[in-house]
């Protein structure tokens, strides 16, 4: 089930995301990489996850694609929270800086995304990935295309 696609018509992006906070199921990517939407407000979205061994790459750390997914989700949903009922978005560009390796010992991670600016056709967002102590593991900037459905 695609929770956002199955939402009643006429909900703003923020209303859609707030509904996702109250359900037990999550979009399939959340199940695959074991992360969830933890907080949302206008212009801000937070995802949380605890990395496991199933996310490791051959060199013995968590794969960078996991980090990219968390940061892309945080940036995208921050923008989603600012959309009208008739708008949608897609990521045009995602630039990531990896500051520190992630392992299973890292513990819970928090990807917090914020809208920098949003217009009729483009949005710009940024996100950080930190541990529970606030240590920075990665950061991202994103350019997103905003369009009418």
34-52 pLDDT, tens digit each: 999 999 999 999 999 999 9
Nearest to 76 by CA among 4, 9, 142, 149: 142
In this prediction, residue 5 has a pLDDT band, given cuts at 50, 70 and 90, of low
Residue that wins the pLDDT comparison between 22 and 139? 139
For residue 6, being part of any structural domain is answered with no
What percent of the chain stands above pLDDT 70?
A: 96
Task: State pTM to two decimals.
Answer: 0.94
Q: How confident is the model at residue 9 (pLDDT cuts 50, 70, 90)?
A: confident
User: What is Dmax (Cα atoms) for the chain?
Assistant: 47
Domain membership of residue 5 (yes or no) is: no
Structural domain includes residue 86: yes
Cα–Cα nearest to 131, from 99, 101, 102, 108: 108
The domain total for the chain is 1
133 falls within a domain: yes
**Do the domain assignments include residue 4?**
no
Residue 45 lies in domain: 13-148
Alpha-carbon distances, residue 96 vs 4, 9, 23, 57, 146 (angstroms): 26, 34, 30, 18, 21
Half-sphere exposure of residue 13: CA atoms within 13 angstroms, side-chain side:
23
- The phi and psi torsions of 128 (rounded to 5 degrees) equal -125, 150
- The pLDDT of 66-79, averaged and rounded, is 98
Specify if 31 maps to a domain. Answer: yes
pLDDT in the model for residue 1: 42
Percent of the chain residues topping a pLDDT of 90: 89
pLDDT number for residue 24: 77
Instruction: Please tell me the least confidently modeled range out of 3-12, 14-23, 57-66.
Output: 3-12
Summarize the confidence of residues 52-80 as an average pLDDT: 98
- The string of pLDDT tens digits covering residues 100-133 is 999 999 999 999 999 999 999 999 999 999 999 9
Domain with 40 in it: what CATH number? 3.10.129.10
Judge whether residue 3 has pLDDT over 80.
Answer: no
């Amino acid at each position: 089930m695609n929770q956002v696609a199955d939402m009643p018509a006429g909900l703003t992006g923020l209303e859609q995301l707030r509904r996702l906070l109250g359900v037990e199921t999550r979009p399939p990517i959340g199940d695959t990489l074991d992360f969830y939407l933890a907080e949302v407000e206008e212009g801000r979205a937070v995802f949380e996850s605890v990395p496991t061994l199933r996310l490791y790459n051959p060199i013995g750390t968590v794969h960078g694609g996991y980090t990219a997914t968390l940061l892309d989700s945080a940036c995208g949903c921050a923008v989603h929270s600012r959309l009208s009922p008739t708008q949608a978005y897609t990521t045009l560009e995602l630039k990531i800086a990896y500051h520190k390796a992630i392992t299973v010992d890292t513990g819970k991670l928090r990807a917090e995304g914020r809208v920098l600016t949003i217009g009729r056709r483009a949005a710009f967002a940024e996100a950080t990935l930190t541990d529970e102590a606030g240590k920075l593991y990665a950061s991202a900037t994103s350019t997103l295309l905003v369009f009418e459905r």
